[in-house]
């Protein structure tokens, strides 16, 4: 009888230990997956903004001159914009078409007017929060972005390099294993040059 009680206690202890180990592994796995998701989400948001700063730049030699841009060069560049933005924005969101439209207008504006976008990017990303609920995430982030634009309209070359910080709220959804942006709102933060 004492042996049976001793075996029962050992069996109970073994079951409890195995349960703790399994639950610990499950918790570690969830924590690891969540940290992978957070890093991927950060990369998608920074990449989206880098693309929006750089994709309007015409291919060389047209980026730094007012030479006429051939239709085939323009068409190829607009296709590049569609493909690149599709890698970070969800096709199921109207946001993708909106962003493609904005960058298409930026390219068209350069071709029709006397200016060129020459460079741009994200200088800093300050992620305030990233909340993940299954395959949906909400992100609060301050992004400092910059660009380099040359204006030829006065007959003289004038280059400006504006920089600004915006606060964004992004929504993302995991589609086929990849995080994609489905929504965003943003506003400039006060700072130098802002009232």
Task: Express each pLDDT in 53-63 by its tens digit.
Answer: 999 999 999 98
Which of 9-18, 140-149, 179-188 comes out lowest in average pLDDT?
9-18
Is the pLDDT at 117 greater than 70? The verdict is: yes
Higher pLDDT, 4 or 85: 85
Q: Is the pLDDT of residue 24 over 90?
A: no
Q: Is the pLDDT of residue 42 over 80?
A: yes
How much is the pLDDT for 30?
66
Q: What is the pLDDT of residues 119-174, one digit of tens each?
A: 999 999 999 999 999 999 999 999 999 999 998 887 788 888 899 999 999 999 99
CATH number of this structure's domain 38-188, picked from the four choices 3.40.720.10, 3.20.20.150, 3.40.640.10, 3.10.450.50: 3.10.450.50
Entry field: residues in the chain: 195
């Amino acid at each position: 009888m004492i042996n049976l009680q001793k075996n029962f206690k050992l069996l109970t202890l073994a079951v409890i230990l195995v349960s703790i180990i399994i639950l610990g592994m499950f918790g570690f796995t969830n924590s690891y997956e969540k940290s992978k998701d957070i890093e991927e989400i950060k990369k998608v948001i920074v990449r989206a903004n880098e693309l929006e700063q750089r994709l309007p730049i015409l291919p060389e030699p047209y980026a730094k001159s007012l030479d006429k841009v051939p239709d085939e060069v323009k068409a190829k560049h607009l296709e590049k914009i569609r493909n690149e933005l599709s890698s970070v924005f969800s096709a199921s969101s109207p946001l993708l078409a909106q962003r493609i439209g904005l960058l298409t207008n930026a390219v068209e504006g350069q071709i029709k007017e006397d200016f060129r976008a020459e460079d741009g990017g994200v200088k800093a990303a300050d992620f305030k929060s990233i909340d993940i609920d299954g395959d949906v995430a909400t992100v609060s982030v301050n992004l400092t972005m910059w660009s380099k634009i040359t204006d030829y309209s006065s007959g003289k070359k004038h280059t400006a390099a504006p920089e600004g910080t915006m606060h964004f709220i992004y929504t993302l959804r995991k589609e086929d294993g990849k995080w994609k942006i489905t929504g965003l709102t943003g506003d400039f933060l006060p700072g130098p040059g802002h009232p």
